[in-house]
A and B are shown apart, each in its own frame.
Chain A
Amino acid sequence: MIPNLSEIFSLTAPEIVIAVTLILVVLVDLIWDKNKVPAMFTAALGLIVAGVVILNGMPETGMIPNNYMVVSDKLGLYFKFIIVLTTLFILLFTYDSKEIIESHLRQGEYYALVYGMVLGMFFLTSAVDLILIYIALELLSLSSYVLAGFSDKETRNSEAAVKYLIYGAISSAFMLFGISLIYGLTGTTNLYGVNEVLSTTVVNIYTLGFAVILIIAGIGYKISAVPFHFWTPDVYEGSPITITAYLSVASKAAGFALLIRFVSITFIDHVKADGEWILNGAFDWQTILIVLALLTMTVGNLSALWQKNIKRLLAYSSVAHAGYILLGVAVLTNLGLVSVMIYFAVYMMMNLGAFYVVMLVANKTGSEHISQFDGIGYTMPYAGVALTIFLVSLTGLPPTAGFIGKLYLFLALLDSNMLMVAFIALLNTVISLYYYVRILKHMYLKNVAEMPEKIETRGYSTVVLSLLVVPVLFFGIYWTPLIDFAKYCVEFVIK
Chain B
Amino acid sequence: MEGMPILSLITFLPVLGMVIILLLPSRNEAGIKYTALGITLLQVILAVMMLSGFNYNLPGVTDESTFQFVEKFRWIEIQEVSWLGTVKVDYFLGVDGISMPMVLLTAIVSLIAVISSWKIPKAIKGFFALFLLLDTGMMGVFVALDLFLFYIFWELMLLPMYFLIGIWGGPRKEYAAIKFFIYTLLGSVFILLVMIGLYFSATETLADGSKVFTFNIIELANQANYNSDGILSPFNPQNWRYIAYIALFVGFAIKIPMFPFHTWLPDAHVEAPTPISVILAGVLLKMGTYGILRIAFPVFPEVTRELMWYIALFGMINIIYGAFVALSQKDFKKLIAYSSVSHMGYVLLGMASLTSTGINGAILQMFNHGTITAMLFLIVGVIYDRAHTRGIDDFGGLATKLPVYTGFVTVAFFAAIGLPGLSGFVSEALVFVGAFSVESIRVVTVISTLGILLGAAYMLWTLQRIFFGKFNEKWEGLTDIDSREMAMFIPLTIIIIFLGVYPSAMIDIMNTSVSALAEFMNSAGNNLLGGM
Contacts and interface: CB of A to CB of B under 8 A. Distances in A.
Given A429-B189, A430-B186, A445-B166, A483 B155 contact: no
Q: What size tier do the contact residues of chain B reach?
A: 35 or more
Given A397-B159, A426-B192, A444 B83 contact: no
B412 to A, nearest CB: 32
B158 interface: yes
Interface stretch (A149-157, A407-415, A459-467): A407-415
B483 to A, nearest CB: 29
A422 interface: yes
A455 interface: no
Interface string B173-207: 11001100110011001001100110110000000
A308 interface: no
A478 B123 CA distance: 32
B76 A480 contact: yes
Nearest to A333: B83
Contacts of A231: none
B174 A398 contact: no
B84 A334 contact: yes
Given A410-B192, A410-B193, A414-B197, A445 B174 contact: yes
Nearest to B79: A484
Interface in A32-82: none
B174 A441 contact: yes
Contacts of A399: 152, 156
A271 B84 CA distance: 13
A487 B193 contact: no
11 contacts: A273-B83, A276-B83, A378-B123, A397-B185, A398-B151, A410-B193, A414-B197, A437-B181, A445-B166, A484-B78, A484-B79
A487 B84 contact: yes
Interface string A468-490: 00000000001110011001000
B108 interface: no
Contacts of A407: 192, 196
Contacts of A414: 193, 196-197, 200, 231
Contact of A430 (B185, B193, B199): B185
B167 A444 contact: yes
A253 B466 CA distance: 65
A50 to B, nearest CB: 28
Interface residues of A, number: 44
A340 B137 CA distance: 30
B199 A411 contact: yes
Nearest to B87: A483
Interface in A353-391: 378, 388
A423 B191 CA distance: 11
A437 B174 CA distance: 10
B49 to A, nearest CB: 28
Given A273-B82, A414-B231, A426-B193, A397 B199 contact: no
B81 interface: yes
A423 B159 CA distance: 23
Contact of B200 (A392, A415, A450): A415
Interface string B306-321: 0000000000000000
A18 interface: no
Given A417-B231, A429-B189, A444 B163 contact: yes
Contacts of B163: 440, 444
A433 interface: yes
B178 A441 contact: yes
B77 interface: yes
A338 B87 CA distance: 13
B240 interface: yes
A275 interface: yes
Nearest to A433: B185
Main secondary structure of the interface of A (DSSP, over half): helix
Given A437-B178, A445-B166, A487-B81, A423 B185 contact: no
A274 interface: yes
Contacts of A338: 84
B162 to A, nearest CB: 7
A433 B78 contact: no
Contacts of B76: 478-480
Interface in A393-432: 397-399, 403, 407, 410-411, 414-415, 417, 419, 422-423, 426-427, 429-430
B322 to A, nearest CB: 26
Residue of A392, A426, A427, A479 with highest tally of chain B CB at under 10 A:
A426
B231 A434 contact: no
A398 B167 contact: no
A429 B81 CA distance: 30
B40 to A, nearest CB: 22
Contacts of A28: none
A272 B84 CA distance: 12
A355 B159 CA distance: 21
Contacts of A430: 182, 185-186, 189
A322 interface: no
Given A398-B151, A411-B199, A415-B200, A487 B78 contact: yes
B83 A398 contact: no
Contacts of B193: 410, 414, 419, 422-423, 426
Nearest to A434: B182
Nearest to B173: A445
Nearest to B77: A480
A486 to B, nearest CB: 10
B435 to A, nearest CB: 34
B231 A444 contact: no
Shortest 10 CB-CB distances between A and B: which pairs?
Answer: A275-B83, A426-B189, A398-B152, A445-B166, A334-B83, A414-B196, A398-B155, A483-B78, A430-B186, A397-B155
Contacts of A480: 76-78
